[in-house]
Amino acid sequence: MKLKRHGILAGVMLTAALALAACGSDNNTDSPTAGSSSSGASADCATGKLTAQGSTAQTNAVAQWVKDFQAKCSGATVDYQGTGSGAGIQAFGGGTADFAGSDSPMKAADEQPKADARCGTGNKAIHLPMVIGPIAVVTNLSGVTDLQFSASTLAKIYSGKITTWDDAAIKADNPGATLPGTKITAIHRQDSSGTNDNFTKYLSKAAAADWTYDHAKDWKAPGGQGETKSDGVSTAVAKTDGAIAYVEWSFAIANNLHMAKIKNASGEFTALSADSAGKTIASAKVDGTGNDLKMTIDYNTPAAGAYPIVLVTYEIVCEKGNQADKLPLLKSFLGYAAGDGQATLTRLGYAPLPSDVQAKVAASVKALA
């Protein structure tokens, strides 16, 4: 099922203004706003405590949801720790997390079977998309702020084939820039991360001839500088002249990092914005079955003006077999996140779910047992 751009909103809170854009059809007036109660996703309050961990990409979003939900629902506690997607999936499979956040679907060979086993005989763990998070390519190069890259150039930088900022390939991408011979410090996530997986998926799809390491949550290419979690990556870029990294849009904004334009499949160097990210999400497909809502992103979408590096963060939960004492609060919190909680994303550097996907997530949450 192709996603409709109808109803996609994304934006960020800047120092003095809310930069808010909508991408969709010319007439949005009749559709429910993402995050509105008309989706039916909001849930009644329940009491108790949930423990969860995983994706750092969604940490800022979940922190806001928890704050707002607990203010709305006294007697409810949700403890979410941004430990990385791999750690979150492992904790869920091991029974120490009530749900996990992951920026990539579980691996069929090992992660999915362990999660299914945790849910009980005959039950399945499912993926519920909750957050759309563009990945920014960020740089810190003295005297140079407006850079742009093709997928091929990024692949060569991250595979160690390009080592200085005055390399011919970078010059070709940036014909108007004066580039120094500074050594490139290519920073990557050293922990198991869905951001790694999505960034390397982009390289493997958009620069297949130059990227030979496929994609994975764990970084496979040699060299570079590894940092832990999105905070670690952002901090390292900010203090390192000559650095380049990839990090979620919300972290790039929060740390005032310079974001590069990325060349898309239409040959355009495109800045990251609400509209450009939405054009890539518009081509994504839901390819899970039933209540499992895994999605596939087209990193080579031919849409004009599309920013191609985008991820979707999932909450991973048992479709059936949830602990009876946890179930009411689990449905309450996830229902809030998929419903009214979506409205808070626009000011945090994320995009709310498209209205049609939001409705499907709400139905899946309601069916949890």
CATH number of the domain at 210, please. Answer: 3.40.190.10
* Model pLDDT, residue 29: 29
* Model pLDDT, residue 360: 94
Q: Mean of the per-residue pLDDT values for the chain?
A: 88
Is 219 a residue whose pLDDT tops 80? yes
Q: Is residue 344 part of a domain?
A: no
Q: If we measure between CA atoms, which residue out of 62, 127, 183, 49 comes closest to residue 295?
A: 127
Is 17 a residue whose pLDDT tops 90? no
pLDDT tens per residue, range 255-264: 999 999 999 9
* Model pLDDT, residue 40: 38
Q: Is residue 196 part of a domain?
A: yes
* Model pLDDT, residue 238: 97
Cβ-based neighbours of 50, under 8 Å, separated by 6 or more: 77, 78, 79, 98, 99, 326, 329, 330, 333
**Residues 112-139: what's their mean pLDDT?**
96
Percent of the chain with pLDDT over 90: 78
Q: If we measure between CA atoms, which residue out of 21, 245, 238 comes closest to residue 137?
A: 245
Mean pLDDT is lowest, of 136-145, 170-179, 227-236, 349-358, for: 349-358
Token pair in block for residue 168: 């011919």
pLDDT tens per residue, range 170-204: 999 999 999 999 999 999 999 999 999 999 999 99
Mean pLDDT is lowest, of 86-90, 171-175, 270-274, for: 270-274
Q: Is residue 49 part of a domain?
A: no
**The pTM is what?**
0.77
* Model pLDDT, residue 356: 85
Higher pLDDT, 116 or 323: 116
**Residues 165-172: what's their mean pLDDT?**
98
**Residues 303-308: what's their mean pLDDT?**
95
* Model pLDDT, residue 231: 94
Is 3 a residue whose pLDDT tops 70? no
3-class secondary structure per residue, the chain = CECCCCCEEEEEECCCCEEEEEECCCCCCCCCCCCCHHHCCCCCCCCEEEEEEECCCCHHHHHHHHHHHHHHCCCEEEEEECCCHHHHHHHHHCCCCCEEEECCCCCCCCHHHHHHHHHCCCCCEEEEEEEEEEEEEEEEECCECCCEECHHHHHHHHCCCCCECCCHHHHHHCCCCCCCCCECEEEEECCCCHHHHHHHHHHHHHCCCCCCCCCCCCCCCCCCEEECHHHHHHHHHHHCCCEEEEEEHHHHHHCCCEECEEECCCCCEECCCHHHHHHHHCCCEECCCCCCCCEECCCCCCCCCCCCCEEEEEEEEECCCCCCCCHHHHHHHHHHHHCHHHHHHHHECCECCCHHHHHHHHHHHHCCC
* Model pLDDT, residue 44: 83
Rounded CA separation 281/352 (Å)? 11
pLDDT tens per residue, range 51-66: 999 999 999 999 999 9
Query: Phi, psi at residue 299, to the nearest 5°?
Result: -75, -10
* Model pLDDT, residue 357: 87
* Model pLDDT, residue 278: 81
CA-CA distances (angstroms) from residue 350 to 28, 205, 323? 20, 23, 31
Q: Is residue 107 part of a domain?
A: no
Provide the residue range defining the domain that includes 150.
134-276
Number of domains in the chain: 1
Is 10 a residue whose pLDDT tops 70? no
Q: Is residue 307 part of a domain?
A: no
Higher pLDDT, 224 or 22: 224
Q: Is residue 13 part of a domain?
A: no
Q: Is residue 236 part of a domain?
A: yes
Is 91 a residue whose pLDDT tops 60? yes
Q: Is residue 149 part of a domain?
A: yes
Pairing relationship of beta strands 225-227 and 185-189 according to DSSP bridges: parallel
pLDDT tens per residue, range 306-328: 999 999 999 999 999 999 999 99
CB 11 within 8 A of CB 20: yes
CB 350 within 8 A of CB 250: yes
**Residues 13-19: what's their mean pLDDT?**
27
Query: Phi, psi at residue 286, to the nearest 5°?
Result: -85, 115
Token pair in block for residue 63: 């922190």
* Model pLDDT, residue 35: 37
In the numeric block, the tokens 């994303």 are attached to 345
